[in-house]
């Protein structure tokens, strides 16, 4: 396994680290993986999650580029005008161009929380993307979601969580939801986009943690949100209620790294 | 700005080199980070510090300790003997990158403690909220961990999971053994030393007195987190960055 520090993109303003197997030559049938910042955390990911994943993937002969979006981590800001999403998409395209120059032509993109926005857009529009994984991504209320929430209410879990959040706010601590407020596409638009990805054969993985329970709280909710995906081959759902939003425990990171690496390895 | 790997090919370290953006001086500053538990909080601040130093004409190098950040290895494999070697490698690397400049060091948290206890000859040293007594610092981290409602969990080979990171027994023992108030531990040789503290404690004052540093600089923004939640939020410390970079600027004049 080897790792290289890279600068790429216009004026080489973007910074990333590329992890590769052995000699670095692309392996036939092994798409390269792309991941960027989670919120404002830099490219190593929360608790070094992306570093651990990159090395697990390199052991399976997949290259992975973890990079900082413009203006985050070590990457310089963009000078082009345009909204934040458009600029983030440009960054991902620059990352793909960087990997193409190294002989990679098929990609798996991984979006986590706010990072889902750009990766969703790229996966929808770019036919080089053969797989997309979304962690704590877009989720929409369903009847069973409400029912599960009521059950948690009855068990006191919701109240305990609300009290803890209230105490945290009183102590001046920010909540994840405070830091990362975004606007979602409508459920219909999202379902249309996902079908567009799946129709061309892209593999999709949706993983939700316990930290996202306000919007996703049971296995099977994916099919309720997007009924047309139920019968699709190559669509996987993973629910990890024991994991917090940032995978702040070692065992939880080991679990998600194993799940993601195993999923990527099945994409040919 | 140059991202790079340096050090041995068996265990490469990751760093970011910033050449001067103002009239260059033959002076460089190596920036030593705190423990990884504090990385999410301080990465932005250390990046701003490097930029501020480059804007004053210094060569600057930020780097990640072995087993942390983008450097090779896992934290559970790390110990302070390796991290002291990492610091010496970083000083050597910056000297090469800068064409033989005189090198100073700034260390935040454990970074400062390592700088003071490493056999190293460098120009100036800034200790930014240094860990003065390692055992006490570990107790504070443990208290932050337990305040989340979780118990710090033992892992294989006597490692401990603390605030999301698995720390090996060797690293824990090395940190616990740090006592900067013991003169025998302060083996580094610097021309000038400054102790800068965001919450000056008796220990910081005692260290400042023992080192014969000219002043105990008070930093306006608090670097050490008061809760596990604060560790996850980036610290913006523009005034502290200004004070630290200005100190180097004043000493270089």
Flag whether pLDDT at A179 surpasses 70. no
Alpha-carbon distance of A268 to A259, in angstroms, equals 17
Alpha-carbon distance of A68 to B141, in angstroms, equals 29
DSSP result, A47-105: GGHHHHHHHHHHHTT--EEEEPPTTSTTPPPP-S-S-HHHHHHHHHHHHHHHHHTTT--
Q: How far is A14 from chain B (nearest CA, A)?
A: 10
Average pLDDT, chain A: 89
Chain A contact set for B1 (CB, 8 A): 7, 15, 74, 76
Beta-carbon separation of A5 and B72 below 8 A: no
Rounded average pLDDT over A173-185: 53
Three-state DSSP class for residue A8: strand
Residue A189 pLDDT grade (very low, low, confident, very high; cuts 50, 70, 90): very high
Query: Which pLDDT score is estimated for A161?
Result: 54
Beta-carbon separation of B16 and A41 below 8 A: no
How buried is B132 (Cβ within 10 angstroms: 0-12 exposed, 13-18 middle, 19+ buried)?
buried
Query: Which pLDDT score is estimated for A32?
Result: 97
- A181 or A63, higher pLDDT: A63
Closest B-chain CA to A54: B70
Query: Which pLDDT score is estimated for B19?
Result: 97
Flag whether pLDDT at A43 surpasses 90. yes
Q: How far is A168 from chain B (nearest CA, A)?
A: 8
Residue A177 pLDDT grade (very low, low, confident, very high; cuts 50, 70, 90): very low
Beta-carbon separation of A173 and B234 below 8 A: no
Beta-carbon separation of A173 and B43 below 8 A: no
Contact status of B165 with chain A (Cβ, < 8 Å): yes
pTM of the full structure:
0.92
Beta-carbon separation of A4 and B5 below 8 A: yes
Closest B-chain CA to A169: B229
Q: How many residues does chain A have?
A: 268
pLDDT, tens digit, 9 for 90 and up, residues A208-248: 999 998 899 999 999 999 999 998 989 999 999 999 999 99
Beta-carbon separation of A74 and B47 below 8 A: yes
What ipTM was assigned to the predicted interfaces of this complex?
0.93
* Angle, helix B169-176 to helix B80-97, in steps of 10 degrees: 80
Closest A-chain CA to B9: A2
Beta-carbon separation of A51 and B164 below 8 A: no
Q: How many CA atoms, within 13 angstroms, populate the side-chain half-sphere of residue A18?
A: 23
Chain centroid offset of residue A9 CA: 21
Q: Per DSSP, what are the bridge partners of residue B88?
A: none
Interface of B with A in 214-253 (CB under 8 A): 227, 229-230, 232-234
Beta-carbon separation of A74 and B161 below 8 A: no
Residues of chain B with confidence (pLDDT) below 50? none
Contact status of B147 with chain A (Cβ, < 8 Å): no
Pairing verdict, β B165-167 and B160-162: antiparallel
Q: How far is B183 from chain A (nearest CA, A)?
A: 35
Query: Which pLDDT score is estimated for B252?
Result: 60
How buried is A266 (Cβ within 10 angstroms: 0-12 exposed, 13-18 middle, 19+ buried)?
exposed
Beta-carbon separation of A48 and B155 below 8 A: no
Query: Which pLDDT score is estimated for A178?
Result: 42
Query: Which pLDDT score is estimated for B18?
Result: 97
Beta-carbon separation of B5 and A171 below 8 A: no
For B37-70, letters b (16+ CB in 10 Å) and e give bbbbbbbbbbbbbbbbbbebbbbbbbbbbbbbbb
Chain A contact set for B70 (CB, 8 A): 3, 5, 17, 43-44, 51
Chain A contact set for B72 (CB, 8 A): 3
- The torsion angles phi and psi of A143, rounded to 5 degrees, stand at -60, -40
Q: How far is B187 from chain A (nearest CA, A)?
A: 32
Beta-carbon separation of A17 and B165 below 8 A: no
Residue whose structure tokens are 């260390």: B107
Query: Which helix (H) or strand (E) covers residue A125, if one does?
Result: helix A116-125
Flag whether pLDDT at A176 surpasses 50. no
Chain B contact set for A15 (CB, 8 A): 1, 3, 16
3-state DSSP of chain B: CEEEEECCCCCCEEEEEECCCCCCCCEEEEEECCCHHHHHHHHHHHHHHHHHHHHCCCEEEEECCCCCCCCCCCHHHCCHHHHHHHHHHHHHHHHHHCCCCEEEEEEECHHHHHHHCCCCEEEEEEEECCCCEHHHHHHHHHHHHHCCCCCCEECHHHCEEECCEEECHHHHHHHHCCECCCHHHCCCEEEEEEEEECCCCHHHHHHHHHHCCCCEEECCCCCCCCCHHHHCCCCCCHHHHHHHHHHHHHHHC
Flag whether pLDDT at A256 surpasses 80. yes
Q: What is the CA radius of gyration of chain B?
A: 17
Chain A residues interacting with chain B (CB cutoff of 8 angstroms): 3-7, 15, 17, 40-44, 46-48, 51, 73-74, 76, 168, 171, 173-174, 179, 246, 248-250
Flag whether pLDDT at A172 surpasses 80. no
């Amino acid at each position: 396994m080897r790792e290289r520090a890279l600068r790429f993109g216009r004026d080489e303003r973007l910074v990333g680290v590329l992890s590769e197997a052995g000699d670095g030559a692309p392996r036939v049938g092994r798409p390269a993986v792309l991941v960027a910042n989670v919120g404002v955390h830099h490219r190593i990911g929360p608790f070094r999650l992306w570093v651990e994943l990159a090395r697990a993937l390199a052991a399976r002969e997949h290259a992975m580029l973890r990079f900082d979006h413009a203006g985050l981590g070590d990457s310089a800001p963009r000078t082009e005008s345009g909204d934040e999403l458009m600029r983030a998409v440009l960054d991902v395209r620059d990352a793909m161009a960087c990997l193409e120059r190294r002989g990679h032509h098929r990609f798996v993109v991984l979006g986590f929380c706010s990072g889902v926005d750009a990766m969703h857009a790229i996966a929808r529009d770019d036919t080089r993307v053969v797989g997309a994984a979304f962690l704590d991504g877009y989720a929409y209320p369903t009847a069973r979601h409400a029912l599960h929430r009521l059950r948690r209410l009855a068990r006191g879990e919701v109240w305990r969580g609300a009290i803890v959040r209230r105490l945290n706010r009183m102590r001046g601590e920010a909540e994840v939801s405070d830091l990362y407020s975004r606007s979602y596409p409508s459920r219909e638009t999202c379902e249309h986009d996902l079908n567009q990805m799946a129709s061309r054969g892209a593999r999709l993985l949706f993983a939700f943690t316990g930290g996202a329970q306000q919007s996703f709280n049971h296995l099977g909710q994916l099919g309720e949100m997007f009924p047309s995906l139920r019968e699709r081959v190559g669509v996987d759902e993973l629910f990890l209620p024991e994991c917090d939003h940032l995978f702040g425990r070692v065992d939880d990171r080991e679990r998600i790294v194993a799940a993601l690496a195993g999923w990527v390895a099945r994409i040919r | 700005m140059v991202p790079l790997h340096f050090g041995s090919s068996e265990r490469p370290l990751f760093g970011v080199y910033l050449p001067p953006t103002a009239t260059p001086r033959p002076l460089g500053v190596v920036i030593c980070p705190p423990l990884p538990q504090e990385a999410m909080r301080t990465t932005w601040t250390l990046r701003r510090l490097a930029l501020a130093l480059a804007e004053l004409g210094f060569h600057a190098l930020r780097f990640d300790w072995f087993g942390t950040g983008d450097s090779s290895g896992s934290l559970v494999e790390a110990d302070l003997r390796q991290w002291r070697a990492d610091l010496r490698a970083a000083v050597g690397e910056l000297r090469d990158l800068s064409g033989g400049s005189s090198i100073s060091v700034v260390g935040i948290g454990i970074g400062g403690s390592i700088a003071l206890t490493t056999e190293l000859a460098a120009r100036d040293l800034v200790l930014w909220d240094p860990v003065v007594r390692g055992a006490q610092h570990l107790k504070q981290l443990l208290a932050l961990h337990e305040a989340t409602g979780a118990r710090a969990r033992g892992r294989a080979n006597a490692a401990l999971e603390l605030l999301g990171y698995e720390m090996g027994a060797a690293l824990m023992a090395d940190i616990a053994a740090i006592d900067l108030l013991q003169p025998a531990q302060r083996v580094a040789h610097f021309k000038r030393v400054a102790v800068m503290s965001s919450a000056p404690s008796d220990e910081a004052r005692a260290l400042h007195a023992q080192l014969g540093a000219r002043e105990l600089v008070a930093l306006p923004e608090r670097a050490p987190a008061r809760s596990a939640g604060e560790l996850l939020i980036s610290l913006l410390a523009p005034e502290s960055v200004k004070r630290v970079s200005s100190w180097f600027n004043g000493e270089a004049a």
